[in-house]
Amino acid sequence: MPITTRSLLPALLAAVLLLLPANIYAIGNGIGAGLRFPLFLYQDTAYGASLIPVWREISYVASGTISGRSAVSILLWVLGTALLAAAIVYFAARRKDCYEAARKTLALLVAGGAAAYLLSCVAQYGPTLHGPAGFAVPVGVPLILAVAGYIMTVEEDDELEDEEKEGDYGEEVEEEQ
């Protein structure tokens, strides 16, 4: 099946997900708050506002500046971002192949990114997403899961339409004979 504009939509949605906030959080007893995007973190604390790219967070963990639950949380977040990026790269690499064969893998990569983001929040704030470290609202996780669901269902709809068109074509040929 050739790639159509509709087939490109899931990859475009995955790319847009890298730019949307995936988590809103508050630190401790009102010390600060922020938005966590897949590629960077914006936080405003009593010490000022910061924009921290994900590669800087990786360096903080690697150097030991951040450790413990916060380090695990950052590593899970990086995993989620890597899975979303892998979904985009996978789609780009397989764009000339049959989309049907790549659809399930693409959806699993996107859903895996959502799961990693949610686990990142749980690692930092606990299973209720609220604790002494503050609280988190993973607003992007349902959106990412919706994109994964869309990826799984969009081509099934196209296949049904194609089968109906093929059936109509077969009937037209029989009528002409």
Q: Which residue has the higher pLDDT, 159 or 125?
A: 125
pLDDT tens-digit profile of 92-145? 887 777 667 778 888 899 999 999 999 999 999 999 999 888 999 999 999 999
In terms of Cα–Cα distance, which of 167, 110, 176 is closest to 144? Answer: 110
What was the pLDDT predicted at 73?
95
| Domain with 152 in it | 5-176
| Number of C-beta neighbours around residue 155 at 10 A | 22
Return the structure tokens found at 63: 């150097």
Helices (H) and strands (E) in the chain, counts: 5, 6
What was the pLDDT predicted at 67?
94
pLDDT tens-digit profile of 12-60? 777 788 888 889 999 988 899 999 999 999 999 999 999 999 999 999 9
- When pLDDT is cut at 50, 70 and 90, the band that residue 1 belongs to is very low
Does pLDDT of 82 surpass 70? yes
Q: Which residue has the higher pLDDT, 7 or 157?
A: 7
Calculate ∠ Cα 48-52-55, nearest 5°: 160
CATH of the domain at 142: 1.20.140
Q: What does the alpha-carbon distance between residue 21 and residue 140 come to, in Å, rounded to a whole number?
A: 6
pLDDT (mean) for 144-160 = 75
**What's the domain count of the chain?**
1
What was the pLDDT predicted at 53?
95
